[in-house]
Amino acid sequence: MKSNTKTRCKLALLVAIFIASIFMFNSCQKVINVNLVNAAPQMVIEGLITDSVGPYIVKLSKSGSYFNQLELPPVSNAIVVISDNAGTTDTLKEMLSGIYLTSKLIGKPGRTYTLTVLSENKTYSGSTTMLSHIDIDSLILEKGQSFGFVSGGNGKNDVRVDIHCIFTDPSEKNFYRIKVNTNDSINVENYRLYDDQYTNGAKTDLQVRRANVGDVSLVELISLDKSTYEYYRTLRDLVHSNPIFGSTPANPNSNLTNGALGYFGACSISSKTIIITDSLYSSIK
Is 136-225+271-282 in the same CATH topology as 31-132+245-269?
yes
Higher pLDDT, 157 or 181: 181
pLDDT at res. 185 = 67
Q: What is the pTM of this model?
A: 0.73
Q: In the CATH scheme, what architecture does the domain 136-225+271-282 have?
A: Sandwich (2.60)
What Rg value do the Cα atoms of the chain yield, rounded? 21
Could you tell me the pLDDT band of residue 14, with boundaries at 50, 70 and 90? low
17's CB contacts (< 8 A; 6+ apart) are none
Could you tell me the pLDDT band of residue 240, with boundaries at 50, 70 and 90? low
Q: Which fold has domain 31-132+245-269?
A: Immunoglobulin-like (2.60.40)
**270 beta partners:** 221
Give me the half-sphere count of Cα atoms (radius 13 Å) on the Cβ side of residue 139: 23
Cα–Cα distance for residue pair 29/22, rounded to 1 Å: 8
Q: Is the pLDDT of residue 251 over 50?
A: yes
Q: Where are the domains of the chain?
A: 31-132+245-269, 136-225+271-282
